[in-house]
Amino acid sequence: MLTANLKPTSQSPLYILGAGAIGSLWGAYGYQAGADIRLILRNQQTVNDYQQHGGIHLISAHQTLVSPVPADYPQSISTPIQNLLITTKAPQTMDALSAIKPHIAEQAVFLLLQNGLGIADQIRQEFPSVTVLQGSTTEGCYRQSGFEFVHAGHGHTFIGATGGSGIRDFNALDQLAASLSFPPLNVNISNDIDAVLWRKLAVNCAINPLTVIHHCRNGELLHKPKALAQMRQIVDEILAVSVALNRTHWLTNLHEYVENVAKTTADNRSSMLQDIEAGRETEIDAITGYLCQLAEQHNINVPLNQEILAEIKRLSREAKH
């Protein structure tokens, strides 16, 4: 069960697994707010590089915030991990958790704040005594270089207990949300986080891979006739899967919603496009791949999503060579 006292204390710091854009955003603002926060980096060399750099450099509103958040690597962790914010990319999550498994407390609380779905179920199987919560954020942050990040736009962050978590202690959830609301970040509780996550998956399926295929920013998709037609077909296929799962009530006006997200994030370069350009692994398996898995289980045809899944994997292989 969810513990009553989730607020990080000297006995129970908040560990952050994944020092990319979102993990560093929470780490930097948490450090500035005086919270006991610790980053978990890949290895000792990464920690050395991080310390030489002086910590996280976060550019926001034309000023640079320097936050030397304490950092560990798996072998140097000395305090049991009770509260863990997981912001790794989906495909790296299980390996990253495996590396710190000896340090995870029996009744730990994990909060997943990442793109894609399906990872929470894997974590619950591997760590049955852990409470797994999920969240979604529209905070805009990107890596400029190394440990330098830009907080490009304020958004909304919701966390909650998914249907599979069995959590009903909403006071503890409120406490957790409050303990993660480091100004200017504001974390709220959603009583229906499954719906929030499903809508986010739909948006990610309809926008992120198309920005890779058409090599463009989000908003440019709306001005390319082929891309716009593809976006609409992807949405139609998502709606077909949603009917089979009885989730259509979560996706009211999905066509307009997706196009509006592309418009309001017009200048964004999706994380998937940045991953391909940098030769990194993408999250396509936890986004389009997850949708295709569900479609197959329910005998729903999603030809364009299948085609896009294969194309992104091909481009990802090419980018690595």
b/e map 278-291, b = 16+ CB within 10 Å:
eebebbbbbbbbbb
Our answer to whether residue 200 is catalytic in this structure is: yes
Catalytic site residue from 7, 89, 101, 200:
200
Query: The tokens of 59 are what?
Result: 């550019």
Q: How many C-beta neighbours within 10 Å does residue 129 have? A: 10
Whether the Cβ atoms of residue 184 and residue 33 lie closer than 8 Å to each other: no
- Pairing between β-strand 14-17 and β-strand 81-86 as defined by DSSP bridges: parallel
Q: What is the DSSP letter of 222?
A: G
Rounded CA-CA distance 85/95 in Å is 15
Q: DSSP for 225-293, please give it.
A: HHHHHHHHHHHHHHHHHHHHTT-GGG-TTHHHHHHHHHHHTTTPPPHHHHHHHTTPPPSGGGTHHHHHH
CB 12 within 8 A of CB 179: no
- Catalytic residue ranges: 200
